[in-house]
Chain A
Amino acid sequence: MTDHSKPVHFLLVEDDEDHADLVARAMREHRVGNTMSRVADGEAALDYLYQRGGHAKASRPDVVLLDLNLPKLGGQEVLSTLKSDPELSAIPVVVLTTSEADADRVKAYASRANSYVVKPLDFQQFHDMVRQLGMYWSIWNRPPA
């Protein structure tokens, strides 16, 4: 029923070292996301997705976990660029942010974000969120191709 054989590659776009580490630890612990790559700003995210610059040999991720408040190029700009490109638009983007602003959420969905998740403050909830997110996108979700 579900295809466990294909490894799922997450790209985490996160400038905060600690938050990136916390997500990575939770993913490792719950064995979700067979591969996780990380870039720390919006421009690097687009370089990664377009396989250019220092990321020329990067493989396209299956899912993008995208922070909004990023250096160089904001998360909303990354999202709209990605979703307006027919080659990349099918890649699911989960916005993973501390922003609870309605305007950010509405704008993200208007730019076709697949999900919008606010980072929980509580440790257990944070772990549950990463586990469920990982499980959903790596096991239950079926990509178009």
Chain B
Amino acid sequence: MIHVIEAAPVGMIKVDSSGTIVLVNREIERMFQYPRQELLGGQVDVLIPLRYKGSHAALMARYAARPDHRKMGEGRDLTGRRRDGTEFPIDVALNPVETAEGRFVIASVIDVTEQRRSQAELRRLNESLAQKNAELEQFVLTISHDLKSPIVTIMGYIGHLRRDIQVGRDDELPVYAERIEGAAVRLKQKIDDLMRLSRIGREAHCPQEVSLVERAAAAIEARRPEFVQLGASVRLNIEEPTAWCDPQHIDQILDNLLGNAIKYGCTNPSPQICVRSWRAGDEHIGISVEDNGAGIDPRYADRIFDLFWRLPSKAEGTGVGLSIVRRIASLYHGKTWVETSPGNGAKFSVTLPSKPPADSRSGLTPPGERMTT
């Protein structure tokens, strides 16, 4: 019997009716990091966290009154305490044993650290999947709504066109043609935008150290003719010189934010745009593009990154540029937000990693490998 207990793959511990340990096996020694001579003759509550000691005595007394074969703490998460005071999750099964020397309890103890970690990971994955499904559903609805709208227009005016031709009327044909063409162009723009958006998640990309000074200067240079035309001055304030991401991604973020500032942020007679980077915690950097334009009603701050959402009364754009910025940032577990108020300009910010991820769970892969979402 002693040999069986000693060789058991789970921890086994035998205590008498006063809670004194009379037998432990090798697995108990390993699990709780106690040599057995320290445990034998001592109280079993040395193996539980100090905060539970008071209630443990009462639970032992209750068990002694109605001893049976059962799991300990059914429905509750049990915790063991190692010799060094660290804690770990355990499952315990209790077995009463009657002998000539009196009544004992043999407890089987399993370290469930890995099991709990797997369960937590599974829960996290399920939650993430549910969120992705909800996002996908919303995405499909948005697309179907926004793609259907120009189709209603096209079908409607084709109907008018056909009917007018049948009755020999031609005065409104140019109007119909113009409206059909306009809707077709909008449809094409939206499809192109969707393709751009979908490529972000599908294409392999190579996170690496990128120079924000170089990338921001190049992005500004590419937009220089537009800044000149608007009479806008652009300032670069790079406090944090590098980020860890795909160079194409940082280029796209900067170009979209600058394009956004050009479209909506240059209403001031002396437009000023500032591109800035700063340290945002230990592992991230922040990048912002700030303008001194008309600003945005704070009510729209949440919606402004939504797919196809455009500011009221703004004719330009298809409402996908900021969605792309958010999608890229999310690949790196980064954040996107806007700080603004009417009349005081707008500052769009993004966070990206400042260095390679510490482990693969961060969702990033080494240079050259495919990154998936």
- List residues of chain A with CB under 8 Å of any chain B CB: 16, 18-19, 21-22, 25, 41, 69, 71-72, 97-101, 119-124, 126-127
Contacts and interface: CB of A to CB of B under 8 A. Distances in A.
A121 B151 contact: yes
A119 B151 CA distance: 11
Interface in B103-159: 141, 144-145, 148-149, 151-153, 155-159
Nearest to B179: A18
Main secondary structure of the interface of B (DSSP, over half): helix
Contact of B152 (A19, A25, A100, A127): A19
11 contacts: A16-B153, A19-B152, A19-B153, A22-B152, A71-B310, A97-B145, A100-B144, A101-B145, A119-B152, A124-B159, A126-B155
B183 interface: yes
A22 B145 contact: no
B160 interface: yes
A123 B145 contact: no
Contact of A98 (B145, B156, B310, B311): B145
B154 to A, nearest CB: 9
Given A41-B312, A97-B145, A121-B148, 10 more contacts: A16-B149, A16-B153, A22-B156, A25-B160, A98-B152, A99-B141, A101-B141, A119-B148, A123-B160, A127-B159
A71 B313 contact: yes
A12 to B, nearest CB: 14
A121 B155 CA distance: 6
A121 to B, nearest CB: 5
Majority-rule SS of A interface residues = loop
A111 to B, nearest CB: 18
Given A18-B179, A71-B312, A123-B155, A98 B149 contact: yes
Contacts of B156: 18-19, 22, 123, 126
A27 B141 CA distance: 29
Contacts of B149: 16, 19, 98
Interface residues of B, number: 22
Given A71-B312, A71-B313, A100-B144, A122 B155 contact: yes
Contacts of A71: 310-313
Contacts of B162: 123
Contacts of A41: 312-313
Given A71-B312, A98-B145, A100-B144, A126 B153 contact: no
A72 B297 CA distance: 9
Contacts of B144: 100
Contacts of B141: 99, 101
B153 to A, nearest CB: 4
Contacts of B182: 18
Given A18-B183, A41-B312, A123-B158, A69 B145 contact: yes
Nearest to A69: B145
Nearest to B152: A119
Contacts of A101: 141, 145
Most buried by B among A18, A72, A101: A18
Contacts of A16: 149, 153
A52 B151 CA distance: 35
A126 B145 contact: no
A121 B160 contact: no
A17 B313 CA distance: 13
A100 B141 CA distance: 8
Contacts of A97: 145
Q: Which 9 A-B pairs give the minimum distances between C-beta atoms?
A: A123-B159, A71-B312, A18-B153, A22-B156, A72-B312, A98-B148, A101-B141, A99-B145, A121-B155
A34 B114 CA distance: 73
Contacts of B159: 123-124, 126-127
Nearest to A104: B141
Nearest to A119: B152
B212 to A, nearest CB: 35
**Which of A19, A120, A123 gathers most chain B CB within 10 Å?**
A123
A52 B131 CA distance: 42
Interface in B296-329: 310-313
Interface in B158-183: 158-160, 162, 179, 182-183
| Residue with the highest number of chain A CB atoms closer than 10 Å, among B141, B182, B183, B311 | B141
B159 to A, nearest CB: 2
